[in-house]
Amino acid sequence: MTDEAAETRAEAQSAGGAEAGAEAAAQAPAEPVEPAGPVPLGVVRTPTGHAGVDAHLARLADADHLGADGHVEVYEDVHRGLREALTALDAPPLPGPYENRS
């Protein structure tokens, strides 16, 4: 490529870049846009049939109305409850009132 052709191409790109920048500036909003508030994710929670587990999973809906910094508390609470529900499944059954005869 000759020096003259390179200069012509650079000028054309420069002019095109200036036009694109002017268009972008014209389309940009005049005022700064405020960040959007919390928006529900719309995640479907299918019932498990276990009332305790379903109650903990329903608690996840509380995170839909919080900012991202509030999600941690909800997730930790749900995790703790689900862990306790699983631990309870491993516990030996308690004897009934008439099952501890000698």
Rounded mean pLDDT, 69-93: 91
DSSP 8-state secondary structure symbol assigned to residue 101: -
Encoded tokens for 3: 């020096």
Give the model confidence (pLDDT) of 55-66 as tens digits: 999 998 888 888
Model pTM? 0.53
Q: What is the DSSP letter of 96?
A: -
Element housing 74 (H / E): helix 68-90
What pLDDT does residue 76 have? Answer: 96
Please tell me the distance from the alpha carbon of residue 75 to that of residue 57, in angstroms, as a whole number: 10
